[in-house]
Amino acid sequence: MLRITVNQDQGETVTLKIEGKLAGTRVSELDRAWQALEPSLNSGKLVVDLRGLTFADTDGQKTLSEIHSRTGAEFLADTPLTKYYAEIARQGNATNS
């Protein structure tokens, strides 16, 4: 199961919270969600909260990398696993896992 939540604070920060497994057909859900969000960012900041992410397959990792490369998003991570996915996104080198 995958849950994607978008929160916009009073300022210019938008948080995209990803919870559950980012794999298979669920990756396209994230892709649609962030691409719909991207035009509204303008000069705002995107924060991607991975603290509820439990797994990301190669396609999911590639989508996280694309989000980072196109928006410069900040990633929130709190476990070794989510920190790993955040680092992959920042470096843009998704691998099979």
Domain boundaries, the chain: 2-91
* Token digits of residue 62: 């590639």
Task: Give 56-76 pLDDT, tens digit per residue.
Answer: 999 999 999 999 999 999 999
**Structure tokens that stand for 2 in this block:** 């995958």
- pLDDT tens digits along 25-55: 999 999 999 999 888 887 789 999 999 999 9
- The architecture in CATH of the region 2-91 reads 2-Layer Sandwich (3.30)
Q: Which residue matches tokens 């300022």? A: 11
Task: Map tokens 């439990």 to a residue.
Answer: 54
Segment 80-85 shows an average pLDDT of: 97
